[in-house]
Amino acid sequence: MRILTRSLPYVLIAFLISLALTPLVKKIGFSIDAYAKENNRTVHHGHIVRIGGLAIFIAFVVSMAIFFDADRQIDAILIGGLIVFVGGLIDDIHDIRPIVKLAFQIVAALIVIFYGDIHLDVINMRFFNIDFSPISFLVTLLWIVGVCNAINLIDGLDGLSCGISTIVISAIGIIAYFMRRIDLAVISLILVGSILGFLPYNFHPASIFVGDSGALFMGYMIACLSLLGFKTTAFITLGFPIVILFVPLADTMLAIIRRKLKGQKISEADKSHLHHVIMFKLGFSHRNTVLTLYFITFLFGCDAILTFFHEKAGLIFLFVLCLLAWIFIELTGMMGPTVHPLIGLCRRITGHPKKSDDAFFEANKINHRG
């Protein structure tokens, strides 16, 4: 109870600022015609403002100024966050080319790495008088850019990226607290409050979207917090962030593999992301699809926390979750209608499940109407 009492001001102030700013941001969006465009992948209709990330960003920065005495590393993260946010905001208003938006993310990552001296320490050694430590800088760069875009890619349904980011950041904050990184726990609380203040306007049916400015900023902050928070063993340094971010990272990797198998460009959008599969192939409603992905993210977050306290139990639970996730991927044909090695192996060994025209196990036959 004492922990909750001490945590409340950080969350509450950021929450109230974000909650109060969002209607104003909505008016600004209408005045400059910053609407989300409808296409064959979108599920919304009508004019919906897509610069909601502005409310989250301002609430976070103001709350940080109130509560936090920043050092050089935090300054680097905030400067990089501003750059990522500005790049996303320009795209939300003017639709810039993907390569230009990527350049903003790379610059932000380089500031974090070289000005903030924040990077993964997993690869930091010399062998045969060759210094391999620069590889860690490259891995850090790819991590920051990758997580930015993973959160952005999963931002396909009302409230999805905001809710998943809230769960992920909460898990990072809890682990940071038990690692005695109170500074990271406080930043996590402020960021959670900033997102939660926006979420009531963004949850289905959304009246405003977080946009690239918000999704990229949330992804960037998650990447940076994970870099600062888990610097112990190699498994914890790399493993914890990957486990907590399983849903957006898995969705991104599957999209890359799927498009490669189909001969498409990696940047070519499709309608086979995880949220699309649950909503259109399995027939879930918009709201239930989002809540399902919240729950899955929550399970992986709990697994990361469990692993911190009991590594063996956490790894067993992780194996079960990953096995179930892979079966789901095969059943729904997320990588293609013929890619189901586990089910194929089971069929060869046991003779089941049998092939039939309406078999649920044949991924390409799933075609529920919702």
Whole-number pLDDT of residue 132: 57
Residue type, 331: L
Contacts of 251 (CB under 8 A, 6+ apart): 150, 153, 154, 273, 274
Q: How far apart are CA 215 and CA 236, in angstroms?
A: 25
Q: Give the mean pLDDT of 79-103.
A: 94
Locate the domains of the chain by residue range.
Answer: 1-232
User: What's the pLDDT tens digit per position in 56-77?
Assistant: 999 999 999 999 888 899 999 9
The token duo for 345 is 């192996």
Q: What global pTM score does this model have?
A: 0.86
Mean pLDDT taken over the chain: 84
Whole-number pLDDT of residue 126: 47
Q: Which residue has the higher pLDDT, 222 or 5?
A: 222
Whole-angstrom CA distances from 213 to 63, 152, 168, 202, 357 are 19, 9, 18, 14, 45
Q: Where are the beta strands (DSSP E) in the chain?
A: 126-127, 130-131
Whole-number pLDDT of residue 336: 66
User: What's the pLDDT tens digit per position in 314-355?
Assistant: 999 999 999 999 888 887 777 766 677 787 777 778 776 666
Q: Which residue has the higher pLDDT, 33 or 46?
A: 33
User: What's the pLDDT tens digit per position in 100-129?
Assistant: 999 999 999 999 999 999 887 655 444 445
User: What's the pLDDT tens digit per position in 226-265?
Assistant: 888 776 555 566 677 888 888 888 888 888 887 777 777 7
